[in-house]
Each structure stands twice: as structure tokens, then as C-alpha cells.
Structure 1
């Protein structure tokens, strides 16, 4: 006879499923399992798990002041593992299907206005890392993807860059290069002309720095690196952003991640297809793109209606 199976066991068994995510994401999931799911539900026999048990955990987390996104992350783990138990015929249905989840904060993502964007770009020209920030604004790649770019990933002639890896921080191993989060994250992105030009100048600058550093330079073929060729720590890059933001007199509520959001927002405002924006950002699911940039939709819809005005307006017939 099979021994009783606890919820803890099924989660441990299927924990490998989350290895498809970036290390930082996987660590967040593991922390959720260790701090919330196992203490509250791990001891319950799988056959005895009820919707009320799961709901009680979510209610407790909400009462403790945890963000709706955190509660939903815990739900994603629980629901996914219980779904697997259903597929394995260990359960007849998924008890997590019937829980009530907190609503996500639907406050629009703060992006740079066109005026703020222009002011920020104006301070980048004479800065060693200026090309890096312009690349973020012009391509929408993430910080981890940017800091992992190698010159072999850049085709200045065709004006495209390819995402093959990302830089991640770990406690045990420090900065490491990892595979992109999903297959969608591996992508080729066209570069605007100003980005390509900035990268060409940056390459010349880095060649001069490499020559000056001599044997102290560790050549890893990185596009953006320290003056000794080593990866830039994301924390130091963020500090540099704060300095440039202040110099450009851009409001403090604009954070580094807002450059990626600004890229996507500008494209959507110009009428770009949502599917194209999804592919450029590397989102695995188009619903992620749609939900994140739902605040742009009203403007896009108004512009679409304006286009229909011209199509629907009856033109005056020309005189004979």
C-alpha cells in the first residue's frame, strides 16, 4: 500500500518545474514555499487538502499586510503543484481553483513623459555609460540582459542585438551569467539608429580603456563593463542612474525599470501592435503585456477612432 502523501511532498517533487525561471525568480518562489506554504499547509495530507485551508493561508497573509502580488505568487505555486497532482490522478480536482484572490494594484506604471525622456537623453552623450542607458530606452531590454550583452551579440551593420543570457546576482556565487527566463526571452531586437551610433562610439571608448588598463583588463567581450573588463554590479549601475536622473532633473518617482516601461509605452502610443511589443519585451504571455500597459489603451483607442473618422466621413463629391 502506498504511504500517505503530504502536500509538502508533492511540492518538493515538482519544485524542479520552477527551474525554468531565472535564478532570482526561482529564489523568490523557494522563499514563498519555505516561509508561507510549508508552515501553513505542508503537514496536511494531500487527500485532505481543502479550499478552506488554502483560503485561510491567503487571508492570513493579507491580514499581515503582504502585497496582493505576493499572495498571488504563493497561489501560482500551490495551484500549479495541485494541478500536477490532478494530472497524476492523486486528486480528483484542484482545491485551489475555488479560492478568492486579492485584486492586484492597478495603478499605472510610471513612465517618462516625452519631455522627461528628452532631458534624460541630453545628459547621456558625454557619459561612459550613456550608451547603456540609451540602449535600455531604445530597445526595452531588462537590466540583467543589458549587463550580459557581449559584442558577439551586437550586429552594428544590421542594427540588431540578440539576447542570449542575463546577469544575475546570487548570495553564494556572486554575479553569474544565466539563461534567459523563457524561450520568449531569447530574441533578436532591432536597434534605432541613435542606439547603434552610440554603441559604435562606445566600442571605440572601451578599446581605449582596455589599452590603458593593459594586463589588468579581463576581456570577457562584454559591451558594458567596468574599466577592468569585469561585469558591472547592478547596484552600481542603479546608483549611476540616480546620478544622471538628478542631473537631468527627472522626478525621483522614475526608477531604472521605468526605462523599459517608457520604451513600451512610447511604441503603444505610436500605434504599434501589442503582439510586436510583447515580442520585443520578451514576455512569455501577451496577457502580461496587456495587463502591464492597460493604461495606454484609452489613448490608443482614441487614436484608432480618429483614424476611423477619416474613413467614415463621406467625402464631398467633386463637381462635374
Structure 2
């Protein structure tokens, strides 16, 4: 075996001595020449000695936790624990190549998840690989694109910290997945839904959702101070979400562009005024147990409404109106 050694650019604008190996003198010299050429282009030699799994753990715990919303961080953690760490975690970060990423994504694309993750073995009655009949449950293109984006974000941080010279995941093309087709309610179906919600204590919420298209979290995060019923406007500043650590939490909108002021249709202004009167009656009935937080839409005791409970109520109303099930 042949060894070649030389000085190359290192992180922090310093230089360090590296060693490369080959089965022939020519091979060792070619490897050293390649690394010196990269150094001359200003690309520092990688300093990462750990595995991909170690870097992903560090990135989640020391970097992403301070930059991402809690729910987004939870989804990233699930993605890494379920797919990235088992698939690429044992590889050395400095030696990870675009070919490794592409090969792994192709394998993920064609592998039945019941088999790969042991889902079938955990069932009371196996109906896939354990039963000898694969159900061919594959990951959707959207899920694959999401996994790829998480890997790109983690490796991009390693590049910024000069642990690796380039983000190899950026050289892998997964294609742009076609989003799931969504069929909203037609005009007649919307009228049926409003008829079904008449008399419901959250009628104003569903009418506002149909007329303005506000997101579920934005509807539940609305406060009376955000509304001006005299001029018929609403300021969208907050969203209500359930997080693992804080429970139901009011937080700013995801982006600055999501903060906006919208015009309220006359019907919504009227229903909101009636809703305000109804809320005052509920407050008087609750007495000292009323929890005042300023939200427009609350429970009968003044507490914020859990988004999951709102979804359940919406599905129940769709069923009552004889309508197909759609997302709120």
C-alpha cells in the first residue's frame, strides 16, 4: 500500500497535514493531487470524524431546537429517528457521498414500510410480510421529499461549521412531488354546512372559515382585540397550537407574511356580534370558573378550544349535513 501526505487548507483559515492511501503509487498521488486542488480553490478539508447519526443528534439538540417551532422540531425528530438515523446513521459524515444518499432514497422509495419498520410484526393479526403476503405500503413522494429536505438542512449546517466541504444531499434530485388534490366544498355544499351549523355555539367560526379561508390555528387564535366590528376588519397576528411541552399555546404566525388584515363580510360581522352576546351569557353562567383569555372562540368555560376537538366537531357537522369528509 502506498501513502501520500501533504498540507491543505483547514477550517479557520489554517493548514493541516493530511494522509491518503492507495494500492499503487499513481492512485495515492492522484488522491493527494485532488485534495490539494480543492484546497487551492478555497475548499477546506473536512474536520468531521463522527457519524451522520451523531451530527443529526447534535444538530437537533443544539441548533434546530433554537430555530424551529416546537411542532416542527418534533416532526424533524420523528423523521430522523424513523428514517435518517437507521438508513444513513452509521456512515461517516465526512465520507457521505451523493451516491450514498441517492441509493438510500431509492431503497426507501421501493421498500415496504410494514417490513422495513417492523409494523407488521407488532400487529395482533399480521397481514403483510409476517403473514407471507406483502401489502407493498410505500412512502409517498411528499414524504420522501420531506425526508430529503430534513437531511439537506442538517448537512447545510455541517457545511457552515466547516465540518464537510459541501452538502452532498443538494446534488441529489428527487423531483417536485405533485401535492395531494384537494376538493373544497362547492357553493351548494357550503350552504348545506351553514344550515347544519345554525344553532351551534361555534356557528360564527364555521361561517368565518367559509367566507375568509382562515386556517384552523388562526381562527382559534383570534382575540376580540384583533377584531373591529365597526369597520368590519380583522387583524391576523396569532395562531393557537398544541405543543408537547406547553399544551395549548398562542404563538405568532409562522411567517411575517402570514400577518395580515382582512375585511370581514357583513354576514360574518353580524354572526360575530351574536357570538359575542352568547359568550357574555356563558361568562355570566360560568361565574368565577370562567377563564378569561380574550379569545373569540372558547369553550363554555372560557378556555381555548383544542384544534383536535374543533376537527371532531367539524366532522360531526359534515356527517349531520350529509356531506363528504374534507379537511378543515
Query: What is the TM-score normalised by the length of structure 2?
Result: 0.70
Does the 8 A contact of 1:145 with 1:165 survive in 2?
A: yes
2:49 corresponding residue in structure 1: 4
1:32 corresponding residue in structure 2: 79
Structure 2 unpaired stretches of 5+:
1-15, 17-46, 113-137
* Partner Cα separation in structure 2 for residue 18 and residue 184 of structure 1: 23
Alpha-carbon offset, residue 93 of structure 1: 3.0
1:225 corresponding residue in structure 2: 298
Q: What SS does the corresponding residue of 1:184 show, helix, strand or coil?
A: helix
* Partner Cα separation in structure 2 for residue 20 and residue 117 of structure 1: 39
* Residue 255 of structure 1 pairs with residue 327 of structure 2: yes
Structure 1 unpaired stretches of 5+:
257-320
Distance 1:93 1:173, change over 3 A: closer
Q: Deviations over 1:200-224 (max 9, x none)?
A: 1101110111011111111111111
1:157 corresponding residue in structure 2: 230
Does the 8 A contact of 1:175 with 1:233 survive in 2?
A: yes
Distance 1:178 1:107, change over 3 A: closer
* Partner Cα separation in structure 2 for residue 188 and residue 26 of structure 1: 29
* Partner Cα separation in structure 2 for residue 19 and residue 90 of structure 1: 20
Q: What SS does the corresponding residue of 1:4 show, helix, strand or coil?
A: coil
Does the 8 A contact of 2:237 with 2:253 survive in 1?
A: yes
Does the 8 A contact of 1:218 with 1:228 survive in 2?
A: yes
Query: What is the TM-score normalised by the length of structure 1?
Result: 0.72
Q: What SS does the corresponding residue of 1:220 show, helix, strand or coil?
A: coil
1:42 corresponding residue in structure 2: 89
How many residues were matched structurally? Answer: 255
Q: Which has the higher strand share?
A: 2
Distance 1:175 1:34, change over 3 A: same
Quote the RMSD (CA, aligned, Å): 2.4
Does the 8 A contact of 1:225 with 1:231 survive in 2?
A: yes
